[in-house]
Protein backbone atom coordinates (compact mmCIF):
# COMPACT_ATOMS: atom_id res chain seq x y z
CA UNK A 1 0.00 0.00 0.00
CA UNK A 2 1.42 3.38 -0.99
CA UNK A 3 0.75 6.33 1.28
CA UNK A 4 1.08 9.81 -0.16
CA UNK A 5 1.87 13.07 1.57
CA UNK A 6 -1.29 15.03 2.31
CA UNK A 7 -1.64 18.50 0.84
CA UNK A 8 -0.19 21.09 3.17
CA UNK A 9 1.77 18.50 5.17
CA UNK A 10 5.45 18.95 5.78
CA UNK A 11 7.80 17.57 3.20
CA UNK A 12 9.55 14.34 4.25
CA UNK A 13 12.93 15.81 3.33
CA UNK A 14 14.46 18.25 5.84
CA UNK A 15 15.57 21.73 4.91
CA UNK A 16 19.13 21.98 3.65
CA UNK A 17 20.21 24.29 6.49
CA UNK A 18 18.79 21.94 9.13
CA UNK A 19 20.77 18.93 7.91
CA UNK A 20 24.24 20.35 8.52
CA UNK A 21 23.97 20.80 12.33
CA UNK A 22 22.35 17.40 12.65
CA UNK A 23 25.18 15.76 10.73
CA UNK A 24 27.76 17.57 12.86
CA UNK A 25 26.12 16.38 16.06
CA UNK A 26 25.83 12.79 14.84
CA UNK A 27 29.31 12.67 13.35
CA UNK A 28 31.28 13.40 16.52
CA UNK A 29 34.48 13.34 14.48
CA UNK A 30 37.90 14.63 15.46
CA UNK A 31 38.49 18.25 16.37
CA UNK A 32 40.43 18.98 13.17
CA UNK A 33 37.48 17.91 11.06
CA UNK A 34 35.16 20.04 13.18
CA UNK A 35 37.41 23.06 12.70
CA UNK A 36 37.46 22.46 8.94
CA UNK A 37 33.66 22.19 8.96
CA UNK A 38 33.43 25.41 10.97
CA UNK A 39 35.66 27.19 8.48
CA UNK A 40 33.60 25.85 5.59
CA UNK A 41 30.31 26.86 7.22
CA UNK A 42 31.65 30.31 8.04
CA UNK A 43 32.88 30.72 4.47
CA UNK A 44 29.49 29.73 3.08
CA UNK A 45 27.74 32.19 5.38
CA UNK A 46 30.07 35.05 4.42
CA UNK A 47 29.74 34.23 0.73
CA UNK A 48 25.97 34.24 1.06
CA UNK A 49 26.10 37.61 2.83
CA UNK A 50 28.30 39.13 0.14
CA UNK A 51 26.08 37.82 -2.64
CA UNK A 52 22.84 38.86 -0.93
CA UNK A 53 24.21 42.33 -0.13
CA UNK A 54 25.37 42.97 -3.69
CA UNK A 55 21.99 41.78 -5.03
CA UNK A 56 20.15 44.54 -3.13
CA UNK A 57 18.72 47.45 -5.15
CA UNK A 58 21.13 50.39 -5.56
CA UNK A 59 18.79 52.99 -4.01
CA UNK A 60 18.32 51.01 -0.80
CA UNK A 61 19.81 52.47 2.38
CA UNK A 62 22.97 50.64 3.52
CA UNK A 63 21.49 49.49 6.85
CA UNK A 64 18.38 48.15 5.17
CA UNK A 65 20.53 46.28 2.64
CA UNK A 66 22.59 44.78 5.47
CA UNK A 67 19.47 43.66 7.34
CA UNK A 68 18.01 42.16 4.18
CA UNK A 69 21.26 40.27 3.49
CA UNK A 70 21.34 38.93 7.05
CA UNK A 71 17.71 37.82 6.76
CA UNK A 72 18.40 36.11 3.43
CA UNK A 73 21.31 34.14 4.91
CA UNK A 74 19.68 33.16 8.21
CA UNK A 75 19.88 29.41 7.46
CA UNK A 76 23.66 29.55 6.85
CA UNK A 77 24.14 31.66 9.97
CA UNK A 78 22.14 29.21 12.07
CA UNK A 79 24.13 26.25 10.75
CA UNK A 80 27.42 28.01 11.51
CA UNK A 81 26.37 29.06 15.03
CA UNK A 82 25.03 25.60 15.89
CA UNK A 83 28.24 23.97 14.67
CA UNK A 84 30.37 26.45 16.61
CA UNK A 85 28.41 25.82 19.82
CA UNK A 86 28.65 22.06 19.31
CA UNK A 87 32.42 22.33 18.81
CA UNK A 88 32.77 24.42 21.97
CA UNK A 89 30.70 21.90 23.96
CA UNK A 90 32.80 19.02 22.62
CA UNK A 91 35.97 20.88 23.62
CA UNK A 92 34.66 21.44 27.16
CA UNK A 93 33.72 17.76 27.46
CA UNK A 94 37.13 16.67 26.16
CA UNK A 95 38.89 18.86 28.72
CA UNK A 96 36.75 17.49 31.54
CA UNK A 97 37.39 13.92 30.41
CA UNK A 98 41.14 14.53 30.25
CA UNK A 99 41.01 15.89 33.82
CA UNK A 100 39.11 12.87 35.11
CA UNK A 101 41.40 10.43 33.32
CA UNK A 102 44.50 12.18 34.68
CA UNK A 103 43.16 12.08 38.24
CA UNK A 104 42.26 8.40 37.89
CA UNK A 105 45.72 7.61 36.55
CA UNK A 106 47.38 9.51 39.40
CA UNK A 107 45.21 7.67 41.94
CA UNK A 108 46.03 4.28 40.39
CA UNK A 109 49.76 5.04 40.43
CA UNK A 110 49.58 6.19 44.05
CA UNK A 111 47.64 3.07 45.04
CA UNK A 112 50.14 0.84 43.22
CA UNK A 113 53.03 2.65 44.92
CA UNK A 114 51.41 2.25 48.32
CA UNK A 115 50.77 -1.46 47.70
CA UNK A 116 54.34 -1.91 46.56
CA UNK A 117 55.64 -0.21 49.68
CA UNK A 118 53.45 -2.41 51.88
CA UNK A 119 54.54 -5.64 50.16
CA UNK A 120 58.20 -4.60 50.22
CA UNK A 121 57.95 -3.84 53.95
CA UNK A 122 56.40 -7.23 54.67
CA UNK A 123 59.11 -9.05 52.68
CA UNK A 124 61.82 -7.13 54.51
CA UNK A 125 60.30 -8.16 57.88
CA UNK A 126 60.21 -11.81 56.83
CA UNK A 127 63.89 -11.77 55.88
CA UNK A 128 65.06 -10.75 59.36
The fraction of the chain above a pLDDT of 90, given in percent, is 35
pLDDT value at residue 52: 93
3-state class of 84 per DSSP?
helix
Q: How far apart are CA 23 and CA 13, in angstroms?
A: 14
pLDDT value at residue 35: 65
Relative orientation angle of helices 62-72 and 31-54, to the nearest 10 degrees: 130
pLDDT tens figures, 57-97: 888 899 999 999 999 999 999 999 999 999 999 988 888 88
3 confidence band (pLDDT: 50, 70, 90): very low
Q: How far apart are CA 100 and CA 108, in angstroms?
A: 12
pLDDT value at residue 100: 78
pLDDT value at residue 17: 47
Supply the pTM of this predicted model: 0.51
pLDDT value at residue 110: 85
Relative orientation angle of helices 74-127 and 62-72, to the nearest 10 degrees: 60
pLDDT value at residue 7: 42
Q: Is the pLDDT score of 123 beyond 70?
A: yes
The fraction of the chain above a pLDDT of 70, given in percent, is 71
Instruction: Assess contact for 45 and 77: CB atoms under 8 A.
Output: yes
pLDDT tens figures, 35-56: 668 899 999 999 999 999 999 9
Amino acid sequence: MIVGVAAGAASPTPRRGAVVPLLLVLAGGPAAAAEADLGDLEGRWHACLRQAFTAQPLGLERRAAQRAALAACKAQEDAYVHAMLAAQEADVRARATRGVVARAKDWALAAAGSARATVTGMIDRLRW
